[in-house]
Amino acid sequence: MPTISFTNQLERFLPAPTVEVEGTTLGEALDAVFAANPMLRGYVLDDQGALRQHVAVFVNNVAVADRAGLSDPVGPTDEIHVLQALTGG
């Protein structure tokens, strides 16, 4: 099963432990996390179900391509990292 890890900054607001989930796409894997922790959804996804602008997601250290549809494939041994992206200058 894919493993999802969340940035430690989320722990300031709610529990976001590393978990193993079912799913063959990023969207399915995230849905499994949100089913167990619904409040986490609002920190990761916007109202249309796309990744929030300041959230970066990597599958095996490669940035996801489909930020809106979350259709990037994930395999049973993949590692998914959800981070807060830094912006500014």
Q: What is the CATH number of the domain that holds 69?
A: 3.10.20.30
Question: In whole numbers, what is the pLDDT of the chain averaged over residues?
Answer: 93
CB burial string 8-31: b at 16+ within 10 A, e below: eebeeeeebeebebebebbbbbbb
In a domain, 78, yes or no: yes
User: Is residue 89 situated within a structural domain?
Assistant: no
| Residue 47 included in any domain | yes
12 within a domain of the structure (yes/no) = yes
Q: What pLDDT shows up at residue 88?
A: 61
Give the pairing type, strands 79-84 and 62-63: unpaired
Is 58 a member of any domain? yes
| pLDDT surpassing 80 at residue 74 | yes
Backbone angles phi, psi at 8, to 5 degrees: -65, -25
**What is the extent of the structural domain holding 38?**
3-84
Give the model confidence (pLDDT) of 8-42 as tens digits: 888 788 889 999 999 999 999 999 999 999 999 99
CA atoms within 13 A on the CB side of 8: 0
pTM (predicted TM-score): 0.91
